[in-house]
Copies of this chain bind each other. A is one copy, B any other.
Amino acid sequence: MAMSLGVLGPAGTHSEAAAAYLKRQTGEDYKLVLFADIFDCLQAVENGEVDSALVPVENSLEGAINITLDTLARSEGLTVWRELIWPVHNQLLARRRGEIKRIYSHAQPISQCRDFLLQHYPQAELIKVASTARAAEIVAEAPADSGSAAIATARAGELLGLVPIATEIQDSAANCTRFFQVGRQALSFLPKEKLLVICQIDGQKAGALFEVLKEFAQRGINMTRIESRPARTELGAYIFFFDLEYSDSPQLEEALSAVEKKSIWLRNLGTFPVLTVN
């Protein structure tokens, strides 16, 4: 029986394109379930409505996806199965070539294409909508001479019969998005390359973060990413997200229990492999 995989819809989003890739790459038979936002998508995993979800966690130009981090920090029993590094290719799509008066997209691609837009369409109105796929739908539904265009994926253009007016319009060739595939119980058969640890540190203590990082550093455990989000209790109280390189040594367990002792709370979201797109 196919496992269900939640993803930010509608069809043609970067998330849906990444999910289609994951399916091909792993050979696992996923039935995609589309959600209107990332929060609903992760909640559906927690509630058991879907078996896992593929959600964006960070973009190389625009930074952390806050709703993903905040939901992971507050959820119970979620675990990271895989990380996927997805190269982002944006296109400017329209029903036909001609004057462009307004450009629809999600807030992130609008930021990611800032230089292109300033140079080529400084007069166009920029309209932020819920997803790139929704932007493409709006353009497909508008009259052909409406002067509307969308920044979206090639896949959305193909699904809706739109014309690519310009391709590779992102400001940097280094535009990648990291996704996490998130499930409930751990999949022990997958390779262990990284792990995600979330904890709240008492920010009132001077040097508290330093003391935590020391536990990793002095045991030779490499941290590939640190991110913080507000604890939402008071200004100056933070939750930290540590991406660590996995090592099959007692040092890692020692470090985690030492950090846990120095934290208000700590949760280990598990070990996982990293997939990159060839």
Contacts and interface: CB of A to CB of B under 8 A. Distances in A.
Interface of A: 58-63, 66, 85, 128, 171-172, 174, 176, 178, 203, 206-207, 209-210, 213-214, 216-217, 220, 222-230, 232-236
B174 A235 contact: yes
Given A59-B230, A233-B174, A210 B206 contact: no
B230 A225 contact: no
B226 A209 contact: yes
Which 6 residue pairs are nearest across A and B when measured between Cβ atoms? Answer: A60-B235, A210-B217, A206-B222, A174-B234, A210-B213, A176-B235
Interface centre among A58, A174, A235 (most CB of B within 10 A): A235
Given A128-B128, A174-B234, A210-B210, 10 more contacts: A58-B235, A59-B230, A60-B235, A61-B230, A63-B66, A63-B229, A178-B235, A209-B213, A210-B213, A210-B217
A60 B174 contact: no
Contacts of A178: 235
A236 B176 CA distance: 10
| Main secondary structure on A side of the interface with B | mixed
Contacts of A59: 230
B207 A222 contact: yes
Nearest to A225: B236
A61 B104 CA distance: 28
Contacts of A172: 232-233
Nearest to A216: B210
Q: Which of A178, A210, A224, A227 has the most CB of B within 10 A?
A: A210
